[in-house]
Structure 1
Amino acid sequence: MFKGASNFEINDGHFVIGNITNYHVMPNDTKTEIRDWLKAPDCSVNFQTAVDKKTNGTGQWIVNHSKYKNWKENSTVLWIQGKGRS
């Protein structure tokens, strides 16, 4: 984390520490730390890991099912409900 991580805001496009009536603008290195902290993770790694683990034919049961085929030919809404809670 970065210093002041629990007490910062964005005001007029600036990262500020403290409240709006008593604040100081954060230095650029702190802004960089915050932006890095807020940055979305690289999801391509997880995606590739999932692709590598995929088994051929996964999910084919649904596209081969008669009710799915009927829906695809005749409907616009598909509702698939998973296992309910016990």
Structure 2
Amino acid sequence: MDIALLVKFLAPCLPFLLNVGKKVVEGASQKVGEDVWNKAKAIWTKLYPKVEFPSEFLNSYLEDIKKNKSASGKKAWKLLNDNRFKK
């Protein structure tokens, strides 16, 4: 799937996808439509685990992340050095 198209599709839903709660879901389906909301949730469910930055490294120095050899440390370092989003 084209990344630009994916971003364009998910952008209106992101505030709702990041703060999922019962009232948020109701607001999302009203704002973007139930079909769009359901498709966005399905895409987000597959995408989010691959792009979620490990929370234990949110306040860490880059050097500490680079030295960490755990699976979450490797994921954090990989996300920080992912060239897909560089301009």
Question: If the length of structure 1 is used for normalisation, what is the TM-score?
Answer: 0.29
Larger RCO (CA within 8 A; separation ≥ 6): 2
Whichever structure has more helix as a proportion of its residues is 2
Whichever structure has more strand as a proportion of its residues is 1
